[in-house]
Amino acid sequence: MIFDQTFIAIRQRNIFEILDLSIHVIRNYCLPLSVLLLINALPFFLLDWLLFRWMLTGISAFGYAPLYLWLTSLMVASQAQLGTLLITGYLGKALFQGHPSIKETILAALRIWPQLFWIHGILRTAIPTILIGLYLSQTESTGAVILLTLVVSVGLLVRWLRPFATEMLLLEQNPLRSSDPATITYRMRSAALHNIASSTITGRFLLISLLALPLIFSFYSSILLTDQAINLHIDPDATLITFYWPLSLWLVAGFLAVVRFLSYLDIRIRQEGWAVELRIRAEATRLNKNLLTR
């Protein structure tokens, strides 16, 4: 591993440069990122479809369509970080390795799956929202819809204040707990990384939130136009919404995972002088190699 030769130039960027760079990264790694998004998000896609498809079947489908859109959006919002963590893992390896294997990325995530499940599934409300969604699949309850909205809002608030959980767990591999006082735990690392950059993180979160909705509708409209162009002739109401709307949500979630990873790199460069650290580590590696060859 050559620390000062990365596939992304290590330098400070503003949010608009990060958004532009995200498109180039997706273009260069389109196939592996698409495969990893499919593997990672498909279980959640199918689960949400099984939970709420009843709303868009039968004569009452049109009346339930707005509720279906809202509930599906809430579910994907709560599952997004858990459903895109393989993208983060791949990009973290690709930063230094160029083109890591998909299998290697999946195995690396499985090794720390309990930590990922606890942080994203429990603390960031992905599992509680699924349980509430399961209740909603059995009975229509306004109170449950309000509760689901509140729970997802809490999860989004946590992600607003601490967005880089996946990066710290997968790439920095900080343990959740340690008996060694010298070990930097996840909580310590999270506080050090996020507190200093809180204003930058808040500004970027708000901007991305404003961009997310137009992006979702852009993806959805593009998929509808593609459907019409190739003459699939699928029912333009319920059938399209149950499949194309969640697909649009997950595509945007995948894009935002790339943006978040690049923002994480930028925060580390700004706070820790990461570019200088990588050069020093690269020189240390070269010196060790020269000493060994003598």
Q: Is the pLDDT of residue 14 over 80?
A: yes
The one-letter amino acid code at 237 reads D
Structural domain contains residue 139: yes
**pLDDT single digits (tens) 202-249:** 999 999 999 999 999 999 999 888 887 877 655 555 567 788 899 999
Structural domain contains residue 7: no
Structural domain contains residue 155: yes
pLDDT class for 163, splitting at 50, 70, 90? very high
- The count of domains in the chain is 1
Can you say whether the dihedral through the CA atoms of 86, 94, 158, 13 is positive or negative?
negative
Question: Which domain, by its residues, includes 289?
Answer: 15-293
pLDDT class for 275, splitting at 50, 70, 90? very low
Amino acid 211: pLDDT? 93
> What is the pTM (predicted TM-score) of this model?
0.88
Q: Is the pLDDT of residue 288 over 60?
A: no
pLDDT class for 282, splitting at 50, 70, 90? very low
Tokens encoding 53: 């498809």
How far is residue 39's CA from residue 237's CA, in Å, rounded to a whole number?
A: 27
How far is residue 263's CA from residue 260's CA, in Å, rounded to a whole number?
A: 5
Residue range 114-119: average pLDDT? 94
Tokens encoding 131: 């349980």
CB-count exposure of residue 147 (10 Å: 0-12, 13-18, 19+): middle
Amino acid 79: pLDDT? 96
Structural domain contains residue 6: no
Residue range 49-61: average pLDDT? 77
**DSSP string spanning 182-204?**
TS--HHHHHHHHHHHTHHHHHHH
Q: Which residue has the tokens 């059938």?
A: 239
Structural domain contains residue 177: yes
Amino acid 273: pLDDT? 64
Structural domain contains residue 8: no
Residue range 93-116: average pLDDT? 91
